[in-house]
Amino acid sequence: MSTVDTSSLIRLRSAPFYSLAEIAETVSGLSGKTKSDFSSEGNARFVTYMNVFTNIEVDQSSQDFVMVAPGEKQNELRAGDVLFTGSSESHAEIGLSSVLTSEPIEPLYLNSFCFAVRFANPTVLLPDFSKHLFRSAAIREQIRASAHGVTRINISKARFMRIRIPVPALELQREIAHILDTLTQLEAELEAELEAELEARRIQYSYFTDALFAFGNEVAAPAVEWVKMGDLGQFIRGRRFNKRDFVESGIPAIHYGEIYTHYGTSAEKVVSHVSAELAPKLRFAEPGDVVLTDVGETVEDVGKAVAWLGKEPVAIHDHCYAFRHDLNPRFVAHYMRTTKYRKEKAKHVARTKVKTLLIDRLSQVEIPVPPLAEQERIASVLDSFEALTNDISIGIPAEQVARRKQYEYYRDKLLTFKERV
């Protein structure tokens, strides 16, 4: 990359190595808390598991609160603390780190599923260096080796504190951190540009979706019947399976979370399979069914739908419903993205911590039923607009992966040291 000069630094260098136990101690997260202590009415900020998992640098602007009583004994975080996820569902994701690079402006606490490492001498490692070091390949390998478990992976702190890390001179730490920060900034700038273009295309798709379903205007078909969903078909709830049931090949399956992360308005292939031995316990969506979720983090999210266009039945999770009907499935899935439908859907969402779609009430919502030829026309037009959005949606992850690999290459090169004896 022409804007980042690493030639003078990418060479095998030496540095003293220390075990974490020699230079640091562990600091535990919150203890003795109940679910009711975590709410917007809490009086103190805390760092969530996902904040640590997602960010190499702690996001202190996050609006996460916990109730901490006056005089209550809890560990406050400090600048330079390195936070780690203490448990995970896989070895690959265990012990991900995030660093507190600046002093908190108010008391800040850590969730109970994470722990922190605090250096006895706070100047031994620069925080901006630490945030890259503890996500480097060499250190990640040692972190994974400190964990144990099968279905739930947990870090053994005794083994974790035996991890050995390089401690180069502060000037070298500063130079390496500057280069790696530059690379991450370039990645963030590119992502922002691509996301802006993606948002413009989403707005375009949304405009034409609303226009084509606004029956009675010049853009849409002149006549249509509006029918309750419950009169057009039936909702069939899926049955429980877990991600640990996934196998390389077996019964095609759609997990509710994948509808949010992997699927558009329609799909012909699945991204997951479950063991054939589970078949008697499962429920299936048939080709032509529209599969929708019944839980989500927000009212807007819940009820996202995908038309299943595959050639065989697909197992669906118990937080999914298959809407079985005789309409064009792509037409139905696109309609479920209109402003009109989303407003109606929002009336039938239970606003608990996890938003839940009330299917019995949703079945009373009316949807338009033009002739099948008109359904196909509308679906085809919107498929084209969605394809324009998907093209850049696919391009964004591909470009991000390329930039991420570039960063990881230089990170691991720059943070490879020979132990100085």
- pLDDT tens per residue across span 242-294: 888 999 889 999 999 999 988 989 999 999 999 999 999 999 999 999 999 99
**Which residue range is the domain that position 305 belongs to?**
225-369
Both 249 and 385 in one domain: the answer is no
* pLDDT tens readout for residues 8-25: 566 667 899 999 999 999
Of 14-23, 200-209, 306-315, 396-405, least confident by mean pLDDT is: 396-405
Which residues have CB under 8 Å from 400's CB, separation 6+?
187, 190, 191
Tokens representing 356 are 């839940």
Are 149 and 229 in a shared domain?
no
**Model pLDDT, residue 392:** 65
Treating both helix axes as pointing N-terminal to C-terminal, what angle do 339-346 and 170-212 enclose, rounded to 10 degrees?
100
pLDDT digits (tens, 9 = 90+) for 193-235: 877 887 888 888 899 899 999 885 444 445 789 999 999 999 9
Q: Let me know whether 362 and 376 are in one domain.
A: no
pLDDT of 5 strictly over 60: no
Amino acid code (one letter) for 69: A
- pLDDT tens for 110-151 read 999 999 999 999 899 999 999 999 999 999 999 999 999 888
- 8-state DSSP, 60: T
- The answer on 244 and 197 residing in a single domain is no
What Rg value do the Cα atoms of the chain yield, rounded?
A: 26
Q: Same domain, yes or no, for 57 and 125?
A: yes
Average of per-residue pLDDT across 183-192: 86
**Final residue in a domain of this structure, among 347, 369, 391:** 369
Is 38 inside any structural domain?
yes
Most confident of 88-92, 153-157, 209-213, 382-386: 153-157
What's the pLDDT score for residue 393?
A: 59
| Inter-CA distances, 138 with 172, 207, 324, 408, 414, Å | 18, 49, 51, 12, 11
Written as one letter, the residue type at 264 is G
Look at the chain and report how many structural domains it folds into. 3
Whether pLDDT at 390 is above 80: no
Has residue 248 been placed in a domain? yes
Inside any domain, residue 328: yes
What phi and psi, each to the nearest 5 degrees, are found at residue 117? -115, 125
Please report, for the domain that includes residue 255, its CATH number.
3.90.220.20
The answer to whether residues 20 and 161 belong to one domain is: yes
- Predicted local confidence at residue 2, as pLDDT: 41
